Structure 1
Amino acid sequence: MTAAEVQAEAEIRQLLARCTQAGDARKAEAYAACYAPDGILALDGGAVAGREAIRDWMRAPSVIPPPASGAPGFVSHHLTTCSVAFDGREAATARTYWLVTSAAGLDHNGFYVDRLVHDGGGWLIAHRRPRTLWISPASVLRRGDPAVTP
């Protein structure tokens, strides 16, 4: 790796961490700021296209239902192995594995496939495709939706 690629990879990892923490905290502005203006969040239920639409999606009620007890709930994404490949100086792809913890313990896991662009001011997500590999039988994702399958 060149010195420039080492620096760029560090910047990309910081971007991914900011995005993850903003998402867990439901901070819509900070989450959307991690995406390019025409960025895409490709979910199983359909794509959310554009920074404004991503911001609105994050402002909407979470797809994870609140605990039936009324007690505060949480989900916490933990990024693990990340591989970054560069396509020139202004484009890269990353595959990042994640684990999610909740009050249930290890809740679900999977990986992100991200296409990233450098817009002159920093790295941004141009396209993100989350993939879930496993969901715990006790997952908060299963609460209220018995049709959820791993």
Structure 2
Amino acid sequence: MLEPEVIAREEIRNLLIEYVQCADGGRTERMLELFAPDALMEATGDPGCTGRDEIRAYFERAGRSIRKHMTSPSLRHHLSSINIDLRSPTEARTTAYFLAITDSGPDHWGRYRDTLRHDGTTWLIHHRLLQLEGRAPGGWLDRHEAARGTVDPS
């Protein structure tokens, strides 16, 4: 593997890790900087968000729900099996598994499927497909979805 490829992979890996740390730490502005200004984010069961303003609104709604439905608003995302497919020196596709943990234990899990591009200075997320694959019955996400009327609470 050539040195530029190793550097690109580490920069991408760091971006993915910084994203979850920003999300868990409530650092929304920095998290949004990791997306391209015209990025598209699609999450299972939700309409797509185009651009940083729509993505911000999505995460602000999630933050309000966390504060409403959790006694201790502590959420930690864990990434694993990060696969980086460098398509060119300026484009990559990634897949990473995520597991979200609350003070009650595992809450929800799935995959991030991203397309990233290097803008000459840094890598940015241009497209994120957040594939939710499961949730713990009675957990935060389950209560959030029930309150929205998108899942049967029984």
The TM tier, using the shorter chain, reads 0.7 to 0.9
Provide the C-alpha distance between the structure 2 equivalents of 1:10 and 1:148, rounded to a whole number of angstroms: 41
Q: 1:55 aligned to 2:52?
A: no
Count, aligned residues: 148
Displacement after TM superposition at 1:26 (Å): 2.6
Deviation at 1:65, TM superposition (A): 4.0
Within 1, Cα distance between the matches of 2:68 and 2:121? 40
**C-alpha contact 1:26 1:59 (8 A) present in aligned 2:** no
Of the structure 1 ranges 80-89 and 54-63, higher mean CA displacement relative to structure 2 is found in 54-63
CA contact (8 A) 2:66 2:73 kept: no
In structure 2, C-alpha distance between the alignment counterparts of 1:64 and 1:148, rounded to whole Å: 17
Partners of 1:23 and 1:7 in 2: CA distance: 24
Tell me the distance in 1 between the aligned counterparts of 2:68 and 2:60.
19
Aligned to 1:46: 47
Gaps of 5+ in 1: none
In structure 1, the partner of 2:107 is 107
Q: Percent of counterpart pairs with the same letter?
A: 29
Distance, in Å, in 2 between the alignment partners of 1:26 and 1:48 is 19
1:88 is displaced (CA, Å) by 0.9
Distance 1:40 1:79 in 2: 21
- Cα separation, partners in 2 of 1:116 and 1:73, compared to 1, 3 Å: same
Q: Could you say what secondary structure the match of 2:10 adopts? A: helix
Per the TM alignment, residue 140 of structure 1 is displaced from its structure 2 partner at its CA by: 1.1
Q: Secondary structure at the match of 2:88?
A: coil
By how many angstroms is 1:61 displaced?
Answer: 5.2
In the alignment, structure 2 segments of 5+ residues that lack a partner are none
In the alignment, which residue of structure 2 is the partner of 1:82?
A: 82
1:60–1:135 distance in 2 versus 1, CA, 3 Å: closer
What is the aligned partner in structure 2 of residue 7 from structure 1? 7
Q: Deviations over 1:112-145 (max 9, x none)?
A: 0000000011100000001111211132112251
Paired with 2:58 and 2:133, the residues of 1 have a C-alpha distance of 23
Q: Which residue is 1:16 aligned to? A: 16
Change (3 A) 1:45 1:36: same
Give 3-state SS (helix, strand or coil) of 1:87's partner: strand
The root-mean-square deviation of aligned C-alpha atoms, in Å, is 2.1
The residue aligned with 1:139 is: 139
Deviates more, 1:29-38 or 1:58-67: 58-67
